[in-house]
Copies of this chain bind each other. A is one copy, B any other.
Amino acid sequence: MTIAGFDSRQLALFRTVVEAGSLTAAARRVHVSQPAVTAAIQKLEGALGVTLLERSARGVTPTDAGRKLLGHARAIDALMSEAVADVTERHEPLGPLVIGASTTIAAGLLPTLIARFRELEGDVGVRLVVGNTGEILDQVRSRELPLGLVEGPSRAPRIRLERFGDDTLLPVVAASRERRIALESTPVLWREVGSGTRAVVEKALRRRGRRPLPMDLELGSTAAIRRAVALGLGLGFLSRWSIGDALDAGRVRVAPLPDLAIERRFSWASASGELTGTAARFRAFAQRERPSLGH
C-alpha cells in the first residue's frame, strides 16, 4: 500500500492548515510537531505535482490549486463522517457495556466518556469493574472482561493491547498559592501505596531529589487529592484527562515545575481476536471522541 501517497488524512490535515492559517498553528491544533506538518504537506504537494500553499513569514495562504483542493477536502471530510455515522448506526438494542478500568481512569476519564456514549446510544447498561492494572489485565485474559482500559503497560502476554492515548500527570497547586513553588518544603499529596499513579510519581520525585516529608498527606482517591489541592493543602498530581473542570473553575493551576510532567500511556486491553458488540462499539467511539477530551 505504498503506492498512492494520497489519502484522506492528508486532506484533513491540509484543511486544518488552511483554516489555521499556518503550519505551526495547525501542528499545535492536532498535537504534532511543526516539522511533521511540513513534511506531510510537502508529500501531498508531491503526490499532486502542484504547489498548494504560498509560504510567508506570517503563515501560509492557499494557492489557486490549494483553494480548489480545500473544497474537495471539506467534501471528503463530510463524507467520511457520514460514513462513520451511517455504519455505526445501531439497529438492535445494545447489550450492557462491560468494561474494566484502573482507578484513575475509572474516576477521571470514563464517566465523561460513558455519559457521551449513552447520549448517543441510549440507555445502555454499564458494569464498570475497577481494579489496578494487573487485576484488570488478569480478568481480560480470563475472559471475565471483554475490554479493559488501563494505565501503562506496553505489552502483556496473551492479550491484545492497543494504544488509547498518552496521558500527562501534571503537578498542580491551589490557584491562590504564590508563583514559586519550593519543592523541598511544599507538602505533597500522595495516593495510597499500591496505586500505579503513586509509583510513577514517587519515581519522578526521587529523581529530583525530593524525599518524603512528615508534612506530606496520603489520600485514597484522585477526587480527594483534587479537593485537597484546591484547599491549598499542598502539591498534587492530576491526570491531564481529569483535570479540566478543576482548572476551569479556577481553583487550581499547574505548578511551574515543567520537569515534573510525567508521561504515561493509556491502553485498551482485549482478549486476542474478536471484540464485538457493545464493547467494540464503545472502544471505537472512545477512540474517535478522544481528541475532544483532553485539552
Query: Which A residues form the contact surface with B (CB < 8 A)?
Result: 1-9, 11, 13, 30, 32, 36, 40, 45-51, 64-65, 68-69, 72-73, 75-76, 79-80, 82-84, 86-88, 91, 162-163, 165, 275-276, 280-285, 287-288, 290-291
Contacts and interface: CB of A to CB of B under 8 A. Distances in A.
A280 B79 contact: no
Contacts of A4: 9, 288
A79 B75 contact: yes
Contact of A68 (B32, B73, B86): B86
Contact of A281 (B2, B50, B276): B50
A88 to B, nearest CB: 6
B8 A50 contact: no
A87 B284 contact: no
SS of A interface (majority): helix
7 contacts: A1-B9, A2-B163, A7-B7, A7-B8, A8-B76, A68-B86, A73-B83
Nearest to A290: B3
Contacts of A1: 9, 13, 30, 32, 36, 40
A2 B13 CA distance: 12
A285 B49 contact: yes
Given A82-B72, A86-B72, A284-B50, A7 B9 contact: yes
Nearest to A3: B291
A112 to B, nearest CB: 18
A9 B4 CA distance: 8
Contacts of A49: 88, 280-285
Contacts of A47: 284, 287-288
Contact of A87 (B3, B65, B290): B65
Nearest to A273: B42
A72 B68 contact: no
Nearest to A79: B76
A46 B280 contact: yes
Contact of A48 (B9, B50, B84): B84
Given A79-B75, A80-B8, A48 B87 contact: yes
